[in-house]
Amino acid sequence: MLLRFIVRASSSLPKIPRDVYGNSVDVNKPHQKSKLTHMTDAEEWVHKIPPIIVNDDVVRCGGVKATGLGHPIVYLQLNKRDPTEPETCKWCGLRYLRNPHLNH
């Protein structure tokens, strides 16, 4: 009877998400969910890079080729309804922002 109570009580406790090393992860913070499936915090490091200011409506992203971390080339459209919101590359996470002082 006591064992049944312990099993029932432990199953009702909230599950704490843990990374591959067993450390707890707060998934409510930005860029933390990838720690549940990956063994790196690269997403956090990329997010620390400020948005890249571009003087055009379209940007071409190929990743960071200098370090060999490239990806297939993608084109990102920057002239959208909210020009203050950066556009994020779906492959590498780099963020691009259209120059706010550019009028054309």
- What average pLDDT does the chain have? 76
pLDDT at 51: 92
Residue 20: C-alpha distances to residues 6, 49, 70, 101 (Å)? 27, 25, 25, 45
pLDDT at 58: 93
Q: What is the pTM of this model?
A: 0.60
Q: At residue 10, does pLDDT exceed 60? A: no
The amino acid occupying position 22 is: G
Residue 31: CB atoms within 10 A of its CB come to: 15
Architecture of domain 50-98: Sandwich (2.60)
